[in-house]
Chain A
Amino acid sequence: MVQAAHNTPNLLLRLWRNEDSRGVIIQIVTMVVLFALIAAIARNVAINLADVGKEFSFGFLNWPAAYDIGFSPFIEYTNQSTHLRAAVVGLLNTLLVAVCGCILASVLGFTLGIMRLSRNWLVSRISYVFVEFMRNVPVLIHILAFYALVVTLLPPVKKAIDVGAGAFFLSNRGFYTPSPVFEPGSNMVGIAIILAIVVALVFRRWAKQVQDRTGKAYPVFWISTAIVIALPGIVFLAAGMPLSWDVPVLKGFNFKGGMAIKPEFLALCLALSYYTACFIAEIVRAGILAVSHGQTEAAHALGLQNNRTLQLIIIPQALRVIVPPLCSQYLNLTKNSSLAIAIGYMDITATLGGISLMQTGKEMETMIIVMGVYLVISLTISSFMNWFNQRIKLTER
């Protein structure tokens, strides 16, 4: 040891050859380089901003936005509102399209995935061709093509297609549906719905306890469905049906009343959802195939019927494989919703990162906020995913 120490030429090389101290050296160098880089960038930014006479501040959020947003279903917005309000409208629009898209994509994706596994050759081929074609074409093309389809192929408002009972109309200005009008007493129904869900949950718990203790199984699904439907239904009837529909009627050049779903929203939501559905279909298929056939046989050997096998054996095990990639698809859908800017749907990227950026010239500030918003959404979804993963993780011995 002493000999070796004598032979080594200098301290630096000796430190370098020791694994621990080398680690420390590498980290110090990394941090120094990184901070030097950050400092250099900060300095450059300061100089460059001063050169063009801008300052770094978020004060612009209180300036009037002075542009219109055609689609703001949740909060009031006029072109006199502030940039901050425009950003909030954009964020809500992003969330709206993300939630609608995720729900639609899940429904469609599970359907396609199960179709792909069908024993019927034609059905599984149709699903295969659809999935492979759709997912190998960029989502932006889907969005643009779908939008072009809606705007060019659908008739103008005056010749809107009646798609159902004189209450639903399709035109190139959007999809018109009746909107619900809540009359006094409808809050009672709302309370009844919440109450029914609570009762159903309590019943499920109780039924599980009974089953664990005695082995007696109640038809939990049917009973809880009945509770959730019947209780609000009775209250609804008892309160004298406090709900009416505002049906859209063609007057002059546009529809009056009802709800108009804008073509931008329609195109974005549908294109995002069928594109994502193709990925979900593959995930679902892989998840179901991952449960080995022996599990089904074992369940049958235990005397479980087909539906109980599916419900108690197959689905829980398949979900364990399905849920993590499913979450990341939801995340992708949310991030892809930023492509709204290509067809003029006003999401957060199009309002704050698009028009506000151009009007105020605050590139730094707006982009920081937009990226921050997406980061928060992403981290929320992925932390949910981690929590869920922990919960359903296989406990191995």
Chain B
Amino acid sequence: MAQNQAIPPAYTPGTHPDLPPPVRTTGMVGWVRKNLLSSPLNIALTLFSIWLLWSIVPPAFNWVLTDAIWSADTRKECWALMSAPRDGACWAFIRGSMELFVYGWFPRDELWRVNLTFILFALTVFGALRENIPGKKYWLWFAAGFPFIAAYLLLGGGLEVSTFKVLLLAVIVSGGSFSAKKLSRGGYKFWHLLTSIVALLSLYVFQVSDYNSVLFTIDGLTSVGTNKLGGILLTLVVAVTGIAFSLPIGVALALGRRSRLPALRAVCVIFIEFIRGVPLITLLFVASTMLTYFLPPGSSFDLLMRVLIMVTLFASAYIAEVVRGGLQGLPGGQYEAADSLGLTYWKAHRLIILPQALKISIPGIVNTFIGSFKDSVLVLIIGMMDILGLGRARLNDPDWLGLAPELYIFISLFFFVSCFGMARYSLSLERKLQTGHKS
């Protein structure tokens, strides 16, 4: 013991300055050693990766940016401006066709309508997605009304006021206000249902009879045929319609599938499994070739409308499965708690179940949205001119023959930016809504 005490401590705290950590373990060098060169295999992988990047990135960069030609009138002009033909990208092709790619064949002197729609769309997205924005409620109402505003802006047309339409409006307004009163007292929505049925019936009766005589006409925007929509405009119309309307239908289907009423459940299951079991392209074929057979003889409706219905139904089946996952992920205690508070089925779902279930299904819902955005290009196969269809048609232009790489890069970038943006937003939303208790 005594001997131990006699030895002075080799190091007295405070007498030596703190040395910095070894250079090899911190900073740049440490990071490189740890992440790139930690073992022989790792070194080999790093070298291989560098070789791969070196052989791909600089040539691609040169082709896409430094050697590219941005303004020319034909492909020949492009080649003439390069050191050798095809030495760089000919972006003049995309630039020259940009107006066509964005607006399709929309009448050129009505373009402000498309631009206004785009601006309103941006506002809708901004207002609906921002968390703490003043007047959030009104933004959401605006977002809900946007598809209808956009439809009118794009397609236009005057309004023919007839006896029937006045009557219909009266029925809807009275029914609506009546049911609103009932609702605020927590009553049944039976009357609402009834008035809606009456309204629909009267619609049918009056449509086929002569009560449809026009009283007077209100002139509106010039009517534009749906065949004039094309390019990015059409892509957005198809995608946004599918996204906007598939969510409510999908939630309804999911609730139907979880219902304890066997008949209702069976109908929903058959519908969902059927839609999910067939490719979208076959549904689009159905829309383009045989849907008119289903309608009353002599009537038909627009191809775009039929396609939109199919795209919406398709997306809603997928949304339904995602939401069902969310509903199943909710602990049973939540249902029991809602029941014990004496809430009705609809109140329990509106106030307790759906907010939580939708929250956990956000990643899946956004994935489905991304899927339906990407699926919108399939309309090309039934001959509609979305951005891809229009671009491919443009490739046959003798001035721009064989510029497929430029076209596909441009369209890929368009989709990548849109879809990747959605995915990132969903990630940030997920993080924001994460309240910490995972069940």
Q: Which residues of A contact B (CB under 8 A)?
A: 16, 23, 26-27, 30-31, 34, 41, 44-45, 47-49, 51, 118-123, 126, 132-133, 136-141, 144-145, 148-149, 152, 335-336, 338-339, 341-342, 349, 353, 357, 363-364, 367, 370-371, 374-375, 378-379
Contacts and interface: CB of A to CB of B under 8 A. Distances in A.
Given A27-B262, A136-B419, A367-B286, A141 B408 contact: yes
Interface string B352-373: 0000000000000000001000
A339 B416 contact: no
Given A120-B35, A141-B388, A51 B297 contact: yes
B177 interface: no
Contacts of A30: 263-264, 267
Nearest to B421: A136
B282 A370 contact: yes
Contact of B374 (A27, A123, A133, A139): A139
A121 B35 contact: yes
Interface stretch (B144-152, B167-175, B288-296): B288-296
A45 B49 contact: no
Contacts of B35: 119-121
Contacts of B380: 140, 342
Contacts of A349: 279, 281-282, 285
Given A118-B45, A139-B374, A49 B278 contact: no
Nearest to B37: A120
Nearest to B292: A48
Interface residues of B, number: 57
A136 B415 contact: yes
Contact of B281 (A31, A152, A339): A339
A276 to B, nearest CB: 13
Contacts of A364: 290, 293
A48 B298 CA distance: 8
A338 B289 contact: no
A235 B295 CA distance: 67
Interface in B252-303: 260-264, 267, 273-274, 276-282, 285-286, 289-290, 292-297
B38 interface: yes
Contacts of A141: 377, 388, 408, 411-412, 415
Contacts of B294: 41, 44-45
15 contacts: A27-B261, A123-B46, A133-B412, A138-B377, A140-B377, A141-B412, A148-B404, A363-B290, A367-B285, A367-B289, A371-B278, A375-B278, A378-B277, A378-B278, A379-B273
B420 interface: yes
A341 B282 CA distance: 11
B404 A152 contact: yes
B42 A120 contact: yes
B113 interface: no
B42 A119 contact: yes
B50 interface: yes
Given A27-B261, A138-B415, A367-B290, A120 B45 contact: yes
A352 to B, nearest CB: 11
B402 interface: yes
Of B190, B267, B381, most buried by chain A (CB within 10 Å of CB) is B381
Interface string B28-50: 00000001101000100110011
